[in-house]
Amino acid sequence: MRVLGIETSCDETGIAIYDTEQGLLAHQLYSQVKLHADYGGVVPELASRDHVRKTLPLVKAALAQANLTAADIDGVAYTAGPGLVGALLVGSCIGRSLAYGWQVPAVAVHHMEGHLLAPMLEEDVPEFPFVALLVSGGHTQLVRVNGIGDYQLLGESIDDAAGEAFDKTAKLMGLDYPGGPRLAKLATQGRPQQYQFPRPMTDRPGLDFSFSGLKTFAANTIAASDGSEQALADIARAFQDAVVDTLLIKCRRALEQTQLKRLVVAGGVSANQHLREQLQQFAQRIGGKVYFPRGEFCTDNGAMIAFAGAQRLMAGEHADIAIKTFPRWPLEQLTAITR
C-alpha cells in the first residue's frame, strides 16, 4: 500500500509517500521559519495561509520524486490534531479532498502518534512494549506503548513544554527565532557549574513535568548577570543541563515503574545532541536501549504521518466524508491496532 502523508499542524508543511513494502519513497518539507522570524514566534493566520500556498506544490513534488502519479496512491493520511486549528484545517481539507477525488480511503492521524512512531522509519526498529518520551515545543509526555494505538499516559507537563521553555528562554537572551536550537548551540560555549539551576519536580514522586518556573529562574539569572556573551553562554549551558537532567530523571523513573528497558525519544527536542548523549549513556548503564528518529524526522514531517496513516489504513480504519480536526486530542483516545 502506498500512502500519501500530509502534515500541517503548525509551521512546517510536510509531504511524504510511504510504501508498506518498499518503505519511504518521497519526502518533501517546507519550513516557515523565515516567515515567522520577524514576529519571534508562530503567527497562526500566517501559518495557515502559507500551508494553503505550499501543500499542493509539495504533493506534486513528492509524486515526481517517487516517479508516481495520483493513480499509484492507495490512501491519504493527514494530521487532524493536535495543533493550530487553522493549519490543521488546511491539511485535513486538502487530504480528504484528494482522497475523494482519487477514490481512495483517507485517515486522520494523531500528530503525536506520528512522532511516537517516527523511529520505526529507521532500520533498527524498537519492539513493543517500550516507554516513549515525546518532547517538543507543544508537548512533554511519558507514555507506555504496548502497541500501535495502545498507549498509557504516565506523565506530562503541567505548564510549558520543554521545547517551549527552550524557545522562551532563548528569546529572553535575545536569540533569534527559532530559539531552542540557537540556545543549544550557545550552550556548547558555556562553562559547566557556573550557575546552579533547579531540576523542577524531581524532589517529589511522580512523572509529571513543569518548566515554567525554570524559565522564570533563567529570566532572573539573566537580569542579574552582566549580559556578556560568556555569561549568556554559561546561563544557556546551565539551563540546558537542568532541562536534560530533569528529562533523564523522569525517564529513569518511568522505566523503573514499568520495568522496561527500551526507551523511544521523539519530537523536536529529541534532536538536541546533549539530550541524546545523556540518554544513550544512561541506557548503556542499565543495559537498555534508546531509539531516536534521524534528525530530519525529529521535527514535524510528512514521513511520520504517512507511516502512521499506513498502519491504520492497513488495519481498516478510514475517515468519513466529514472533515474534522482536533486541536486538543489525548493520545489515550486512539484505538489500538490488533492485527
The count of domains in the chain is 2
pLDDT at 122 over 80: yes
Domain contains 336:
no
Write down the pLDDT at residue 40.
87
Residues 283 and 327 in one domain: no
54-110 pLDDT tens trace: 999 999 999 999 999 999 999 999 999 999 999 999 999 999 999 999 999 999 999
pLDDT at residue number 338? 76
pLDDT confidence band for 134 (50 / 70 / 90)? very high
Residue 202 lies in a domain: yes
pLDDT given at position 218: 97
Inter-residue contact 335 to 146 (CB < 8 Å): no
**Same-domain pairing of 168 and 103:** no
User: pLDDT of 80-96, one tens digit each?
Assistant: 999 999 999 999 999 99
Question: How many residues are recorded in the chain?
Answer: 339
- Terminal-to-terminal C-alpha distance of the chain: 16
Domain identity same for 136 and 282: yes
Q: 167 with 209, same domain?
A: yes
Q: pLDDT per residue over 139-195, tens digit each?
A: 999 999 999 999 999 999 999 999 999 999 999 999 998 899 999 999 999 999 999
Burial 10-40 (b: 16+ CB within 10 A, else e): bbbbbbbbbbeeeebbbbbbbebeeebeeee
Mean per-residue pLDDT, 252-274: 97
Q: Please give the model's pTM, rounded to 2 decimal places.
A: 0.95
Torsion of CA 86, 117, 182, 178, to 10 degrees: 0
Give the pLDDT of residue 117. 97
Residue 86 placed within a domain = yes
In a domain, 172, yes or no: yes
d(C-alpha 261, C-alpha 249), whole Å = 14
| Model pLDDT, residue 177 | 87
**Cβ-contact 264, 133 below 8 angstroms:** yes
Cα angle: 166, vertex 331, 272; to 5 degrees: 25
Q: Is 136 inside any structural domain?
A: yes
Please give the grid coordinates belonging to residue 339. Answer: 492485527
**pLDDT at 311 (0 to 100):** 98
Per-residue pLDDT, 33: 93
**What string of DSSP letters covers 92-147?**
HHHHHHHHHHHT--EEEEEHHHHHHHGGGGSSSPPPSSEEEEEESSS-EEEEEEEE
In a domain? residue 339? no
Examine the domain organization and report whether 145 and 181 are in the same domain: yes
The binding site consists of 111, 115, 134-138, 167, 180, 272, 300
Q: Would the pLDDT of 246 be above 70?
A: yes
283 and 300 part of one domain: no
Question: Within this chain, do residues 175 and 110 fall inside the same structural domain, yes or no?
Answer: no
Whether residue 303 is found in the same domain as residue 316: yes
Please enumerate, by residue number, every residue annotated as part of a binding site for Fe cation.
Answer: 111, 115, 300
Question: Chain-centre distance of CA 279, in angstroms?
Answer: 17
On the question of pLDDT at 264 being above 80, the answer is: yes
Q: Are residues 145 and 88 in the same domain?
A: no
Annotated binding site for substrate: 134-138, 167, 180, 272
Q: How confident is the model at residue 300 (pLDDT cuts 50, 70, 90)?
A: very high
**CATH (domain of 3):** 3.30.420.40
Average pLDDT of the segment spanning 269-285:
97
260 shares a domain with 129: yes
- Whether 307 and 283 map to the same domain: the answer is no
- In the predicted model, what is the mean pLDDT of residues 284-294? 97
What pLDDT score does 335 carry? 95
Whether 110 maps to a domain, the answer reads yes
Domain of residue 212 covers 125-291
Residue 247 belongs to some domain of the structure: yes
pLDDT value of residue 339: 61
In this structure, the answer to whether residues 188 and 324 fall within a common structural domain is: no
Cβ atoms of 157 and 247 within 8 Å: the answer is no
